[in-house]
Chain A
Amino acid sequence: MAPLAPRSGDAVFASVERVNAELFTLTYGAIVRQLITDLEEVEEVNKQLDQMGYNIGVRLIDEFLAKSNVSRCVDFKETAEVIAKVGFKMFLGVTATVINWDAEGTSCSLVLEDNPLVDFVELPDTCQGLSYCNILSGVIRGALEMVSMKTEITWVRDMLQGDDAYELRVKLLKQVPEEYPYKDDD
């Protein structure tokens, strides 16, 4: 299924409704700005962005599966490919690349060359520790949790802090088998 994914990413992107990129960027910027003003602590803002991303992710996964028609992924490697090619393309309009697989195939890096959330943004000196795109890590974590994968996501490289690209390290902690939601003995 992997060779099919890049093609279907573009097709899905063409068929979903789109919004003006600048409106999207400026809205996200306003959210971050307001969080900084309200919470004042950079660490708190990072945590809050992650939590917001998690809430978005648990809902986003349904829309993603409905609109993109990808089949069930056989292993985590395929999952990562699908997120990078189809998922990112569908919701952000950019594709990511998957690199740096570890020996067991449970941990990989998603690299984003350009990121629409951070157009025009420059971190001032007061917010140096801010992970501006932390919402993305929450989204991926939330979405994967809804398909029974517990993951841990960290930022390795961040362009706003001087690196040359955005790199997310995605680590699969465990696959939780689906539970029967109703108790048998009632």
Chain B
Amino acid sequence: MASTACFVIVSRNDIPIYEAEVGSVLKKEEAAHLHQFILHAALDIVQDLAWTTSAMFLKSVDRFNDLVVSVYVTAGHTRLMLLHDSRNEDGIKSFFQDVHELYLKILLNPLYLPGSRITSSHFDTKVRALARKYL
């Protein structure tokens, strides 16, 4: 179950609104920056790919060494991006669907401005629990 993973939610304006390192392996300092860099670089590819398919789950969009980027695009063009090294596609798809539901609940909060940072610690705890469950 040892896997490194970096999960980022990027809004439609390409601003990251949430990020979490969800690996069960201790992360090194440089690796964290590298993960974010890879995810941002993949955004262009995601943009093109998103318009070609009507599915929400775009499987693996990009590769870097042995790390794979998987992306799930919501109806409002918010991208849930996961950088990981495992091959568990079904688990990743379920993880994305559950996080999507949590994200919808955040959106329903009238005091939340869509596109701003998600600061809710409740959301953070839940996402980490889901990551431990599916990844």
The chain A residues found within 8 Å of chain B, CB to CB, are 26, 28-30, 32-33, 36, 119-125, 127
Determine if A127 and B110 form an interchain contact, defined as CB atoms under 8 angstroms apart.
no
Residues in A neighbouring B110, C-beta threshold 8 A:
26, 28-30, 32-33, 120-121
B1 at the interface (CB under 8 A from A): no
Q: Which residues from A are CB-within-8-Å of B53?
A: none
B interface residues with partner A (beta carbon < 8 Å): 105, 108-112, 119-120, 122
Give the number of residue pairs across the A-B interface with Cβ within 8 Å: 31
Which residue of the partner chain, among B105, B111, B112, contacts A32 with CB atoms under 8 Å?
A: B111
User: Are B112 and A124 neighbours in the complex by a CB distance under 8 Å?
Assistant: yes
* In contact, B122 and A120 (Cβ under 8 angstroms): no
Interface of A (DSSP majority class): helix
Contacting B108 at CB < 8 Å: which of A26, A33, A123, A127? A26
Q: Could you say which residues of chain B place their CB within 8 Å of the CB of A36?
A: 111
Could you tell me if B122 and A122 are in contact, using CB atoms closer than 8 angstroms? yes
Please report whether the interface of chain B is mostly helix, strand, loop or mixed according to DSSP: loop
18 contacts between A and B (CB under 8 A): A26-B110, A28-B110, A29-B109, A29-B110, A30-B110, A32-B111, A33-B111, A36-B111, A119-B108, A120-B105, A120-B109, A121-B109, A121-B110, A122-B109, A122-B122, A123-B111, A124-B111, A124-B119
Q: Could you say which residues of chain B place their CB within 8 Å of the CB of A120? A: 105, 108-110
